[in-house]
Amino acid sequence: MLTAVLLACLTTRWVTPLVLRILAGSMQATVAIVATLLIFPEYCVSSASRRRDLDPPQLAYDYGAAVGWLAALIHRIIGWTFRQLAAAIRAIPLALVAIVAAGLTIGWLVDLITI
Give pLDDT tens digits for 18-57: 899 999 999 999 999 999 999 999 999 999 988 898 888 8
Say what the pLDDT of residue 32 is. 96
Rounded to whole angstroms, how far apart are CA atoms 24 and 74?
11
pLDDT digits (tens, 9 = 90+) for 82-93: 999 989 988 888
**DSSP H helical ranges for the chain:** 2-10, 16-51, 58-90, 94-109
Say what the pLDDT of residue 2 is. 65
The answer to whether residues 27 and 78 touch, using CB atoms and an 8 Å cutoff, is yes
Rounded to whole angstroms, how far apart are CA atoms 41 and 71?
16
Average the pLDDT over 9-18 and give the result. 79
Is it the case that residue 110 has pLDDT exceeding 90?
no
Rounded to whole angstroms, how far apart are CA atoms 29 and 113?
40
pLDDT band at 115 (very low <50, low <70, confident <90, very high): low
Q: Is the dihedral of CA 101, 104, 105, 106 positive or negative?
A: positive
Rounded to whole angstroms, how far apart are CA atoms 100 and 106?
10
What percent of the chain has a predicted confidence (pLDDT) above 70? 97
Rounded to whole angstroms, how far apart are CA atoms 64 and 41?
10
In this prediction the pTM is 0.75
